Amino acid sequence: AILEKAEMVSNAKMERSTKSFNFAAYHDLETLYSFMDTLVASHPNLITKVHIGNSYENRPMYALKFSTGGVSRPAIWVDAGIHSREWVTQASAAWIANQIASNYGVDPSVTSLLGQMDIYLMIVTNPDGYVFTHTNNRMWRKTRSVNSGSSCRGVDPNRNWDAGFGGPGASKDPCSESYHGPYANSEVEVKNVVDLIMGHGNFKSFISIHSYSQLLMYPYGYTCTDIPDKSELHSVGTAAIKELTSLYNTIYQVGSICKIIYQASGGSIDWTYNIGIKYSFAFELRDTGYYGFLLPANQIIPTAEETWLGLKYIMEYVCNHPY
């Protein structure tokens, strides 16, 4: 533990500029927030930091907005780290943020995409949980809200959305890892995102990044009934996975949440789909259970690279299929 702390302190010193930010390492919240500032500072005409609200413990929640102009252009939302122990997701999102920034003006498809759409990328969607995984319990998943009448804290932020809320696939028990909370959007972390999405009004895609299991999923989780757009989303997912797999042969499966992993109510992409954001997807990144949440840092960049290919495919598709 002492060695790790020393390592982290020295990482932080090295990471003054994004060029020396070590993408192949896991960082604490402060370092990730500082990386965001550095990224914004090096791309002032492309990226702004949007303060969408504060967490339960009053930490700021930031999304990076990639935009080349316009007013409320159609937009794509990507979030990582809503479950704080899924460390490869925050780490990959940092790499992806940097990738989008570097690709703009260089890669024709990213450049063209950003000419027509905005991208919102939230690297740490559950900052309280993330800090807790560093200071106290590496396996913490939920928010850190106090549950009245219970000594157990936290609500599963991905059971707290207003879609089949409280139904099968979430727990009523505050001590449970999948506790849905007292009511939908009770968690300020969730409410902040909901308010942003609703206030903006022009999101065309919502993509949530989790780990682990190597899956690309579409709605629904709260029911196994197929969505009307199942065919299209399944084929977009299949094509995206083909791009992902092409890099390192990492095998992913595609399907609805309910069928491929488990029935789960109150999930974010069910809510976004139901309010009309058709291209709603959730990723589960590496691996399939060997290291699980404790994925070695040397797999961060390969994971981010392959995920980026899948994500890019989806974004291009969304851009090419306005609705």
Partner 1 sequence: MLCAHWSRLRRVSSRSCCATALRSTHSSTRLSSSPERIMKTFCSVWLLLSVVELSPAQEPPLACRGAAGPAPPQPETAEDMASTGDLEPTHYPARRAAQVALHYLNTRHGSPFRVFGLQQVHKASAEDVEAGGRKYKLDFSVTDWASGSAGPALRCSADVLFPRTERHSAPDVKLRCEALQQINRTVQEEEAFYQKHIPPDSAVSARDIPDSYGNMSEEMQPFWRLARVAASFIMLRESSENTEFNMVQMASVTQQESSEEQLMLEFVVLLHDLPSQEIVQWKLLASWSPDRGVRVLQTEWQPRCPHATKPPN
Residues annotated as part of the active site: 284
Burial pattern 256-271, b for ≥16 Cβ within 10 A else e, equals bbbebbebbbbbbbbb
As a residue count, the chain comes to 323
Q: Which of residues 27-86 bind partner 1 (CB under 8 A)?
A: none
Distance, CA of 293 to CA of 302 (rounded, Å): 16
Place of tokens 């780490």: 91
Closer residue to partner 1 (CB): 215 or 269: 215
Burial pattern 72-94, b for ≥16 Cβ within 10 A else e, equals ebbbbbbbbbbbbbbbbbbbbbb
Crossing angle, helix 300-320 and helix 87-103, to 10 degrees? 60
Q: Please identify which residue in 5, 51, 259, 321 interacts with partner 1, judged by CB under 8 A.
A: 259
Q: Per CB under 8 A, does 173 bind partner 1?
A: yes
Q: Please identify which residue in 60, 262, 276, 320 interacts with partner 1, judged by CB under 8 A.
A: 262
DSSP 256: E
# residues near partner 1 by CB under 8 A: 54
Query: Which is it for the CA torsion 23, 25, 30, 31, positive or negative?
Result: negative
Distance, CA of 317 to CA of 134 (rounded, Å): 37
Q: Please identify which residue in 54, 103, 245, 253 interacts with partner 1, judged by CB under 8 A.
A: 253
Min dist CB 295 to partner 1, Å, is 5
Min dist CB 14 to partner 1, Å, is 16
Min dist CB 264 to partner 1, Å, is 9
Q: Per CB under 8 A, does 218 bind partner 1?
A: no
User: Could you tell me which stretch among 63-71, 103-111, 112-120, 152-160 binds partner 1 (CB under 8 A)?
Assistant: 152-160
Q: Which of residues 6-25 bind partner 1 (CB under 8 A)?
A: 25
Q: What is the DSSP string of 28-73?
A: -HHHHHHHHHHHHHH-TTTEEEEEEEE-TT--EEEEEEE--S-SS-
Q: Please identify which residue in 178, 192, 280, 303 interacts with partner 1, judged by CB under 8 A.
A: 178
**Residue 114: how many CB atoms within 10 A of its CB?**
23
Min dist CB 321 to partner 1, Å, is 25
Q: Per CB under 8 A, does 169 bind partner 1?
A: yes
User: Could you tell me which stretch among 12-20, 74-82, 102-110, 144-152 binds partner 1 (CB under 8 A)?
Assistant: 144-152
Binding site for partner 1 (CB under 8 A): 4, 25-26, 87, 133-134, 136-139, 141, 150-153, 156, 168-178, 213, 223-225, 248-249, 251, 253-255, 258-263, 288-297, 299
